[in-house]
Amino acid sequence: MSLVAVADAGPIIHLAEIESLALLAEVDQLYLPEVVYDELEVGGLPDGLDSIEYELVTTTMTCIEDEELDPGEASALAVSKERDAVLLTDDLAAREVAAQTGVEVHGSIGVIALGHSRGRLDRDEAASLMRTLQRETSLFVTDAVVRRGIELLDERGRTT
């Protein structure tokens, strides 16, 4: 089954910060809302964005309004709902709103696990990227949680 996803700015920025944007190539069809692209442009387009394939899209749905969401997150959520795609975001509030609206949602750690399961990263590379994501990026996640993620990679990687 092909993997269709829509990204907001968070995973693009965080994966670029650990020089791993290429992992998004494991998504079969990646959509980037124009609002998100504009947000990225303001801070300077991340290196490596031009090396992955994505389609710039606008949403025809009424934008999902929620005071917890910024325009990029709201637009990405609307596109995900419209196209029955996975939403990629690292924002906890956006994840919660997405879950409430029935949209499947994951983040940068999931993209690293995806890279591992599809053979792009071995176990050590995936674990190292998870640690780097926690230590060197603006993604807020505690060290203890990342260590739990690496344990799961080992536990569940053995059974998949």
Partner 1 sequence: MSAEISDRVREIAQARDVPESKVFEQALERGLETLWEDIVLSQYFEGTLDREQAVEQVGRSKVERAEREREVVEQDVDWGLNA
Q: Which stretch binds partner 1 (CB under 8 A): 37-45, 54-62, 67-75, 106-114?
A: 106-114
Per the CB < 8 A criterion, the answer to whether 95 and 77 are in contact is no
Out of 111, 127, 129, 137, point to the residue binding partner 1 (CB under 8 A): 111
110 touches partner 1 by CB under 8 A: yes
Output the smallest distance, CB 152 to partner 1, in A. 4
Out of 42, 55, 119, 144, point to the residue binding partner 1 (CB under 8 A): 144
114 touches partner 1 by CB under 8 A: yes
Out of 12, 113, 127, 129, point to the residue binding partner 1 (CB under 8 A): 113
81 touches partner 1 by CB under 8 A: no
Residues that bind partner 1 (CB under 8 A): 3, 86, 92, 95, 104, 106-107, 109-117, 141-149, 152-153, 156-157, 160
